Amino acid sequence: MDTIASLFSFITTPVSWVIVQFHTVYGTIFGPDTGWAWGLSIVSLVILIRVCLIPLFVKQIKATRAMQTLQPEMKKIQERYKNDKQRQSEEMMKLYKESGTNPLSSCLPILAQSPFFFALYHVLNGIATGKTIGVIDDQLLASARKAHIVGAPLAAKFMDSTDKVTALGATLTDVRVVTAVMIILMSASQFYTQRQLMTKNVDTTVKTPFMQQQKMLMYVFPVMFAIFGINFPVGVLVYWLTTNVWTMGQQMYVIHNNPTPGSKAQAAYLERLFKHVSHHGKTRNRREKAIVKAIVVKGRDRNEFERKFINGLNKAGLAAQSDGSVMKGENAAVAQAEDGTTTTATATAPRRQQPKRQSKAQRQSGGTKPAEEATESLSLTKSDEPEDAPAAAGKKAASKPGNGTRSKAQSGQRKGPQRPKSPSKK
């Protein structure tokens, strides 16, 4: 470990300087030789580092979601070129290049945090061995060796001997109890962080090997922390416990406010968003508008939870617009349809009246009425014809379709020449 720590010696001086500055501030409040002053200095160092790593954390989230989106395509490539590993690797690299993703992006926060971890370990190991490191001089070294966190010296380890722990002014029982509790908390926080990622923020509609890998890491990482934790000084355990709690809280915030599409967290978020929008009739901020806009743009590619959200808005008389805003259905010029297309709002359009269905008697009586009206009109307009003209006109009107034949068709009989009835037998 000394060889690995020496590789990061270039950052040892800045880390020790930051710790000393925080110790100066907390020392004036709690006392320079107390565990509160040195412990809070380490916690403040962790918070400072993690705040600086927030941009990398955002990139990690984007890279992880991009990798989840590519999992079906990656699986197809693996099945297609399962006997040609070289071609498989080439196609994978081509897929990464086309989509603009990088598998190593999800490891950026851990890789960026590693130099600070090894530098801090080197500083605390120097305090345990009585060596001045960086800007920590003999006076600060003596103050740090006197500092105890809940009865355990800052530089003590779980595997230290009784003589070494006694030299630091503590008992072996206190050191092992404190370090064991911190190792358990550190492993439990790591397990919970990975578990909430797997159970709440993973797209459940796609089953890929990536999910199996994450599930395996959920159990491997806590065991690794427990194994390595027994060889870490108390100060390093404080560092790792603080960074794990920070990661857990940061991930809870992301899952609650910006969940992965298709996950259970997205279903819960859209349910909360629907309740607010249906109550107030609008979105609250830019983030909500961006989420609504992304759902509207997807159109037919929406998942189950997004379709349920859009349908719920439509039933509530609201329409999600392409800019992410939400308007009332009767005032919106364009409403978002379920299939992703836009349709004109028809809230004020009158409904089409359906004609009333006539009874059989009405249809039969209505069939003879046109013939009578036609005969009457002919008799009125052609009064100067001979007396036999009305009879001819009646025959002509009776032969036209739509009069007698029409009445028979309306009464349920077939059109055209009818088969003559057979004479009745006497």
pLDDT in tens, 325-382: 888 865 444 444 444 444 433 344 445 555 566 666 766 665 544 444 444 444 444 4
Q: How high is the pLDDT of residue 375?
A: 45
Q: Which residues of the chain have pLDDT under 70?
A: 1-9, 65, 68-69, 71-72, 103-108, 202-214, 329-360, 362-426
Strands (DSSP E) along 27-169, which ranges?
A: 148-149, 152-153
Position 41 scores a pLDDT of: 92
pTM: 0.67
Cα→Cα distances 205→42, 63, 71, 112, 279, Å: 42, 19, 12, 33, 30
Three-class secondary structure of residue 335 per DSSP:
strand
- Helix 209-229, helix 54-80: angle, nearest 10: 130
> Which alpha helices (H) appear in 299-403, and where do they start and end?
304-315, 360-381, 389-399
pLDDT confidence of residue 411: 46
Under 8 Å between Cβ of 175 and 160: yes
Cα distance between the two ends of the chain: 124
Q: What confidence tens digit (pLDDT) does each residue in 36-82 have?
A: 999 999 999 989 988 988 888 777 777 776 776 676 677 788 788 88
Rg (CA), the chain: 41
Write the single-letter amino acid at 29.
I
What local confidence, expressed as pLDDT, does residue 404 receive? 45
Tokens of 18: 């930051």
Residue pair 204/186 in contact by the 8 Å Cβ criterion: no
Length of the chain: 426
pLDDT at residue number 23: 93
Model pLDDT, residue 177: 94
pLDDT at 4: 53
